[in-house]
Amino acid sequence: MRVIIYPTKLKGRLKAPASKSLTLRAIAAATLSKGTSIINNASLCGDAMVAINIAKALGTTVAINGDTLTITGNFSAAETSFSVGESGLCMRMFAPIATLLGTPVHITGESSLLQRPMQMIDEALAQSGASCKLMRNTDTVAWRVEGSLKGGKLLIDGHETSQALTGLLMALPLASADSEIYVQNLAGKGYVELTIQLLRQFGVVIQKQHEGYYKIRGGQSYKAKEYFVEGDWSGAAFLLAAAALSGEITIRNLFGNTKQPDSSVLKILTLANAPVSVSEQEVFLRKPQGLLRAFNFDASDSPDLAPPLAALAAHCKGTSTIYGIQRLKIKESNRAEVLQQEFARIGVRIDLTENTMKIHGGTLTVGEEPVYAHNDHRIAMALAVAACSANKPLTIEGAECVSKSYPAFFTDLQKLGVKVIIDD
């Protein structure tokens, strides 16, 4: 899909997209619960639909009514195979859960998952009586999960992602024995807190002794409940950056007391001279009268903020620095290199080192050639945000990938008055 974004002064009021991270975790928790759970304000993005199909494969009944999911848990081997699509979280979360079935399960995924680290799942499961073996390397990638998760003491490395830990925290409470997890070099600490908070709401208790050390009582049970999904700070960050560049916006359903790590975007916007007004459930931001200022940001625990902040930094006066970019290499694309490559097409210089990105701000000079999303939803959205305040319209090729996390992104830009031409 080709999308053309015209420079526009945007203005309006929107509801934030529902959190993909929380929706996926809630679907997994409801799948493991006895009884019927209702998930309100659920995301229906591509990854969420993958999780819904996995839940069905695991014996669960799922009914969709608007943005409400009614999930009746019946965790069983209804099928002995399922697909995780391109969702790294679904793979890392449902693989440990699948070992609770006590029967071999075949998991398939899109080949892009081969570029993302998965070996830590097998390394962790092997310590507790199960395994997750890569079966082949073709157009689709496949794993065979077998054995039975028993609990015990596990030592894992978390420097690349916290998602494997999330899967273990969801599965081990149902193991027969108690567990202790020691995590070295834990990245994404905020997402672990998000998981623990959600599990508590579904009746499962994780004891965090200290950072990187968790005790989990075995033999627990999930309790079905009604759950409301917060707005997604990861997706909202793109809208806030767009408003800081060109206009004003009010975003509803964003909670100031959230555990979502990407709410840290508020601090960066303020540093960039785009102060925001935050009330209990909404955020307001208007483009500042003065120039946007360069900023520094450590993305170690919020790597998904790097793309919208790169778009913001491209318009700031001076050079902005984003540290902790090592995890950008293992997303849907190598985001650091792709941001450097595609922003260079519109006159923005980005310098990269092993762990640092420097964005030299200025005026975007859009030419006749298009830019490319590289099948990465956050790259497509970052380019669209940057284009809102460019010198001329920008054409983005492959923009359909936004459906992975934020299907309504371009529609929402149109609601804010941005001229968007979509060519399917």
Q: What CA–CA distances, in Å, run from 139 to 86, 108, 136, 332?
A: 12, 11, 9, 16
Task: Answer yes or no: 304 catalytic.
Answer: yes
| Least reliable range by pLDDT among 70-84, 216-230, 351-365, 372-386 | 70-84
Model confidence over 182-226: pLDDT tens digits? 999 888 888 999 999 999 999 999 999 888 899 999 999 999 999
Residue 119: per-residue pLDDT: 82
33 CB neighbour count, 10 Å cutoff: 23
Percent of the chain with pLDDT over 90: 78
Average pLDDT for residues 175-182, to the nearest whole number? 95
Model confidence over 282-330: pLDDT tens digits? 999 999 988 999 999 999 889 999 999 999 999 999 999 999 998 888 7
Long-range own/partner contacts, residues 354-357 (CB < 8 A, 24 or more apart): 354/326, 355/323, 355/324, 355/325, 355/326, 356/321, 356/322, 356/323, 356/325, 357/306, 357/310, 357/321, 357/322, 357/325, 357/328
**Active-site residue among 301, 304, 376, 412?**
304
Predicted TM-score (pTM) of this structure: 0.94
Residue 97: per-residue pLDDT: 95
Dist. CA 223–CA 210, nearest whole Å: 26
Residue 141: per-residue pLDDT: 85
Residue 136: per-residue pLDDT: 63
